[in-house]
Amino acid sequence: MQAAELPSDDAAAHGGLKALLTLAAPVVASRLGIMAMGLVDTIVVGRHSAAELGYHALAWAVTGVVLTTALGLLSGVQVMTSQAIGEGREADTGAILRRGLAYASWIALACALFLVLAGGPMLHAFGLAPGLADGATPVLMVQAVSLIPIIIADAGLFWLEAHGRAVPGMVAMWAANIVNLAVNLWLVPGGNMLGVEGAVASGWATFASRLFLLAALAWIILRWKRARALGVLSPAPRDAQAARAMRRVGYGAATSYFIESLAFSAMAIFAGWISATAVAVWAVVINVAALVFMVPLGLSVATSVLVGRAYGARDGAAMRVAAGQGFGVTVALLLAVSLGVWLFPDAIASAYSREPVVMAGIASAMILSSLFFVADGLQVVAAQSLRARSDITAPAAIHMLSYVVVMMPLAWWLGVRSGGGVDGLVWAIIIASTVSALLLWGRFLWLGRRPLTLPESGPEPAPASPLA
């Protein structure tokens, strides 16, 4: 069957700008749901106790890097599913999911075991103020357990998104948010039958919500009328080459995610070298930037799905169109966001603080931050598009160059050494993100001028089709 003939009830299967927006909107909403979970945890724990909030934040600083890296390892599920659809092998995507779920289970167990064994010693090795590591360690243990359901669940979420079925995943994510809020409000104040409170209680709320998300996504996939035809209910055939190809995509993405997480964690340390006020200002900058980043992150997923399908169909023109549309929509949306941040920095500052010095620092940093939103968004869309066309190593190498070789030394020089403060740190991000975006999109355009090669696995591809 040719890719263009695949039956589908999803708008995203038909290509074009409408397909991009139809898929991107629920993906963005789903990623915002992830942010909402963290926000709820922070607010509920913070209102209960400032000390407990510190324990929560320290434990998450370690857990977040591990989770982000693990999810990068699973990105091959989405890429290989998109490419299989483009090649006209949609019936093979059930096997991809089953391999992905098995792989995710091993990753989840390894990550949880790593944090249980090494998390506490790492916290104590950081040289934190007395009592902080002791308070954060039990929180980290609970967060380690909660990694198991979310890592496995995300394999299913990525698979659904590759099929253009992002809306059910979005609904499940926001339903999990309701569970998270309810259990947080029940457990965090203490006095419950479980005998937990504060940050540890919030960790168990996160576990409950993630377990709910896993169950909801399993129900959504198994209830899909096409699940049996796609091979979801049949054992995946042994295919070492296909499994290796899926892992290879994940290795590149995980490397990129780890590099970026590590680099931005270092920026927080630089802020701590500047002053206590700088730490507070930087916390707001990174919070706003993370919220804005959900928009291009969702667009990058949608773009990569369409690029992957076009790559699987060996349709270079459709691949360039899909990437170009992702580029254009990302620029348009982030320019609008940047303009809003640039025009109303004082409003943002007042929402986060009432201290004049901190508010002034936030407002200044917000004006500068509006200059890197577009570049930061473009680099993630480009990186995902490259992975979708099986270019794995280059994005990781470019991220290493941009965020480790360029950003970190610049941040130290402009922010710490030269006395530029948080504004200096932001200038380092502006420069690094611009370098990353230019190199990644340059790489994509350069590859577009070369003949397409056969995928690493799978049969001879179907003839080129307009499917994006």
Chunk the chain into consecutive blocks of 10 residues (it has 468) and report each block's average pLDDT, rounded to whole numbers.
38 64 88 85 82 81 87 92 91 94 97 94 79 88 96 96 92 96 94 89 96 97 93 89 90 88 80 78 80 89 90 89 93 95 89 79 90 94 92 92 94 92 93 96 91 50 33
The pLDDT, as a whole number, for residue 129 is 67
Listed in sequence order, the residues at least 6 apart from 371 whose beta carbon sits closer than 8 Å to its beta carbon are 338, 430
Cβ neighbours of residue 142 closer than 8 Å, sequence gap 6 or more: 200, 203, 204, 206, 207
Residues in the chain: 468
Nearest CA-CA partner of 173 in 142, 147, 224, 209? 209
Q: pLDDT at position 460, please? A: 39
Q: Which of 159, 165, 166 is nearest to 101 (CA)?
A: 159
Distance CA 263, CA 7 (A): 44
The pLDDT, as a whole number, for residue 442 is 96
3-state helix, strand, coil in the chain (%, to 5): 80, 0, 20
DSSP H or E run through 356: helix 356-369
pLDDT of residue 278: 81
Kind and range of the H or E run holding 204:
helix 198-223
Contact 306, 19 (CB under 8 A): yes
- Sequence-distant (≥ 6) Cβ neighbours of residue 64 within 8 angstroms: 261
- Residues whose CB is less than 8 angstroms from the CB of residue 434 and which lie 6 or more positions away in sequence, other chains included: 372, 375
Q: Which residue has the tokens 């339903």?
A: 175
The answer, as to whether pTM is greater than 0.95, is: no
Q: Residue 452: what pLDDT?
A: 66
CB atoms closer than 10 angstroms to residue 413: 14
Alpha-carbon Rg for the chain in angstroms: 22
Scan for tokens 């960790």, then name that residue: 203
CA dist., res. 455 & res. 433, Å (int): 30
Quickly count: other Cβ atoms within 10 Å of residue 323's Cβ.
27
**CA 275 – CA 365 distance, rounded (Å):** 15
CB atoms within 10 A of CB 121: 10
What DSSP state is assigned to residue 5? G
pLDDT number for residue 112: 97
CA dihedral 400, 404, 405, 407 (to 10 degrees): 120
Q: How far apart are CA 257 and CA 253, in angstroms?
A: 6
As a whole number of angstroms, the distance between CA 7 and CA 195 comes to: 53
